[in-house]
């Protein structure tokens, strides 16, 4: 009987296949883990189920010691599809990749400081109530946990070229986080930071609120990421939901949203997921139960992400708390004028994407929803050769499972002009 070596030696096709398979295996092993469609580069290994835990309860981080934020381009996302369907559309995320950094970091921090000065009551909030001290303590615990991990562990360990831990410069100041980008320092202990805040109010609840807002201010002006903390508790009736589900649900209890996408987060504080999403067409019918179950079952040590998209027309900035992106209540606010195709050159019109992440805080068990906002000129989309794809996706907003999403995204006002530009 001929041996395998004999068969290969006598068969040119077999030789070709053997060489092809060998090179294919080498190619697959050497190919970086990237996704053109979503623009997600994964420098860290994929998440593992039994990852070693740190005292904080988080998995060990994978540092990027030679990271140069000044030359790092923002992540590129192209998440649009031919037909829109209202789904969670989540993928797993390594917790090391929780907070991205790029060359826009410093300019974005400057914008955040300006927004805090102009719209302090909008860009951050905490739901401290005099009648519910137990809930106040839960909110405090969750916020302090996230602050301590983000400032004391994640930033210096993930990005040692940007942040480092240093000793306090006085007897009253303990360990500090120093930014090698701005030169600023801040205590990594949330309690120490809150002790630096003074208020003239003698009301304990008011004092507590001021202290927690200071934590949020620090997070919001050190990290170019928006955070929302959701805590589980029984549901109370609201005008939008007078007979809520009696089961325990997650409520928004603290947030920093410097780049809200067409909504005023103040009005969502204290509300459940379903109440928050009331303006979103068919959320209750199509997504509410799935979201509630997912929040309930989300495990410590696991993180997920998703990416959404919208069109940001001229005159709408990153801070869009008062309209411009979504048509929430057309009867109460004047609608924008339609953009006509004639003369529309695409300038100052952007594809706006949010890289949204979810994970559970290990100790408090609250859920942290975070998002990083990216904008891309639609001219770039056209030059990439993706103009037709995006134009088809805009049409797919009306042709998908939730056609109401098209007017919700203000499509009737920019859709015709943007599609014509993308196809020109």
pLDDT number for residue 326 = 73
Q: What is the mean pLDDT of residues 122-128?
A: 97
pLDDT number for residue 336 = 53
| φ, ψ (nearest 5 deg) of residue 223 | -125, 130
pLDDT number for residue 228 = 98
Is the CA virtual torsion 7, 11, 14, 16 positive or negative? positive
Buried-exposed string 250-263: b where 16+ CB fall within 10 A, e elsewhere: bbbbbbbbbbbbbb
pLDDT number for residue 77 = 98
Give the least confident one: 17-21, 84-88, 172-176, 257-261: 17-21
Q: Is residue 333 part of a domain?
A: yes
- Distance CA(209)–CA(219), nearest Å, equals 15
pLDDT number for residue 173 = 75
Total structural domains in the chain? Answer: 1
Q: Where are the alpha helices (DSSP H) in 150-287?
A: 155-158, 190-195, 204-222, 273-276, 283-286
pLDDT band of 40, cuts 50, 70, 90: very low
Q: Which of 79, 84, 131 has its CA nearest to residue 308? A: 79
Give the least confident one: 94-103, 196-205, 257-266, 367-376: 196-205
Buried-exposed string 165-178: b where 16+ CB fall within 10 A, e elsewhere: beeeeeeeeeebbb
More confident site: 12 or 115: 115
Question: Residue 258 pLDDT > 80, yes or no?
Answer: yes
Q: Is residue 183 part of a domain?
A: yes
Question: Residue 70 pLDDT > 60, yes or no?
Answer: yes
pLDDT number for residue 34 = 37
Is the CA virtual torsion 353, 355, 358, 364 positive or negative? negative
pLDDT band of 323, cuts 50, 70, 90: confident
More confident site: 176 or 239: 176
Q: Is residue 176 part of a domain?
A: yes
pLDDT number for residue 238 = 66
Question: Residue 331 pLDDT > 80, yes or no?
Answer: no
pLDDT number for residue 305 = 98
**Mean pLDDT across the chain:** 86
More confident site: 135 or 48: 135
pLDDT number for residue 188 = 97
Q: Is residue 8 part of a domain?
A: no
Question: Residue 42 pLDDT > 50, yes or no?
Answer: no
Question: Residue 134 pLDDT > 70, yes or no?
Answer: yes
pLDDT number for residue 248 = 73
| φ, ψ (nearest 5 deg) of residue 82 | -60, -35
Whole-structure pTM value: 0.84
pLDDT band of 245, cuts 50, 70, 90: low
Question: Residue 257 pLDDT > 70, yes or no?
Answer: yes
Question: Residue 67 pLDDT > 80, yes or no?
Answer: yes
Q: Is residue 235 part of a domain?
A: yes
Top-ranked range on mean pLDDT: pick from 56-65, 168-177, 323-332: 56-65
Question: Residue 335 pLDDT > 60, yes or no?
Answer: no
pLDDT number for residue 234 = 72
pLDDT band of 24, cuts 50, 70, 90: very low
Q: Is residue 31 part of a domain?
A: no
- What is the tens place of the pLDDT at every residue in 295-318? 999 999 999 999 999 999 999 999
Q: Is residue 49 part of a domain?
A: no
Question: Residue 267 pLDDT > 50, yes or no?
Answer: yes
Q: Is residue 20 part of a domain?
A: no
Q: Give me 350's structure tokens.
A: 């952007």
- 377: phi > 0 → left, psi -120 to 50 → alpha, else beta; which? beta
pLDDT number for residue 51 = 53
Question: Residue 171 pLDDT > 70, yes or no?
Answer: no
Residues whose CB falls within 8 Å of the CB of residue 300, separated by 6 or more in sequence, listed in order: 57, 360, 362, 365
Q: Domain range holding 320?
A: 37-43+54-422
Q: What is the mean pLDDT of residues 86-108?
A: 97
pLDDT number for residue 165 = 97
More confident site: 43 or 404: 404
pLDDT number for residue 246 = 57
């Amino acid at each position: 009987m001929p041996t395998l070596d004999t068969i290969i030696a006598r068969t040119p096709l077999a030789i070709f296949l053997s060489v092809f398979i060998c090179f294919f295996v080498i190619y697959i092993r050497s190919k970086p883990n990237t996704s053109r469609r979503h623009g997600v580069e994964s420098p860290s290994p994929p998440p593992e189920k039994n990852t070693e835990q740190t005292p904080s309860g988080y998995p060990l981080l994978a540092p990027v010691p030679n990271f140069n934020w000044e030359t790092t381009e923002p992540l590129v996302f192209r998440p649009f599809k031919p037909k829109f369907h209202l789904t969670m559309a989540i993928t797993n995320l390594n917790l090391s990749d929780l907070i991205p950094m790029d060359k826009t970091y410093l300019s974005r921090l400057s914008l955040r400081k300006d927004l805090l000065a102009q719209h302090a009551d909008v860009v951050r909030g905490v739901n401290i109530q005099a009648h519910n001290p137990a809930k106040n303590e839960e909110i405090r615990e969750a916020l302090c946990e996230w602050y301590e991990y983000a400032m004391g562990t994640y930033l210096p360990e993930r990005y040692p070229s940007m942040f480092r831990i240093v000793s306090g410069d006085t007897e009253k100041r303990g360990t500090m986080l120093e930014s090698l980008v701005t030169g600023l320092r801040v205590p990594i202990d949330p309690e120490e930071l809150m002790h630096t805040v003074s208020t003239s109010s003698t009301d304990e609840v008011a004092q507590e609120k001021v202290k927690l807002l200071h934590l949020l201010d620090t997070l919001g002006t050190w990290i170019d990421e928006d955070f929302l903390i959701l805590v589980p508790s029984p549901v109370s009736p609201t005008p939008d939901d007078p007979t809520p589900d009696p089961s325990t649900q997650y409520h928004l209890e603290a947030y920093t949203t410097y780049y809200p996408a067409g909504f005023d987060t103040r009005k969502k504080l204290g509300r459940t997921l379903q109440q928050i999403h009331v303006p979103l067409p068919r959320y209750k019918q199509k997504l509410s139960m799935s979201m509630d179950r997912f929040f309930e079952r989300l495990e410590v040590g696991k993180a997920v992400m998703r990416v959404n998209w919208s069109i940001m027309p001229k005159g709408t900035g990153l801070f869009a708390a008062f309209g411009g992106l979504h048509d929430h209540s057309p009867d109460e606010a004047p609608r924008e004028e339609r953009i006509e195709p004639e003369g529309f050159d695409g300038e100052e019109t952007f594809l706006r994407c949010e890289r949204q992440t979810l994970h559970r805080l290990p100790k408090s068990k609250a859920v942290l929803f975070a998002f990083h906002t990216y904008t891309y000129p639609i001219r770039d989309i056209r030059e990439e050769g993706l103009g037709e794809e995006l134009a088809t996706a805009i049409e797919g907003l009306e042709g998908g499972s939730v056609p109401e999403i098209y007017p919700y995204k203000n499509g009737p006002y920019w859709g015709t002009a943007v599609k014509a530009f993308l196809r020109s």
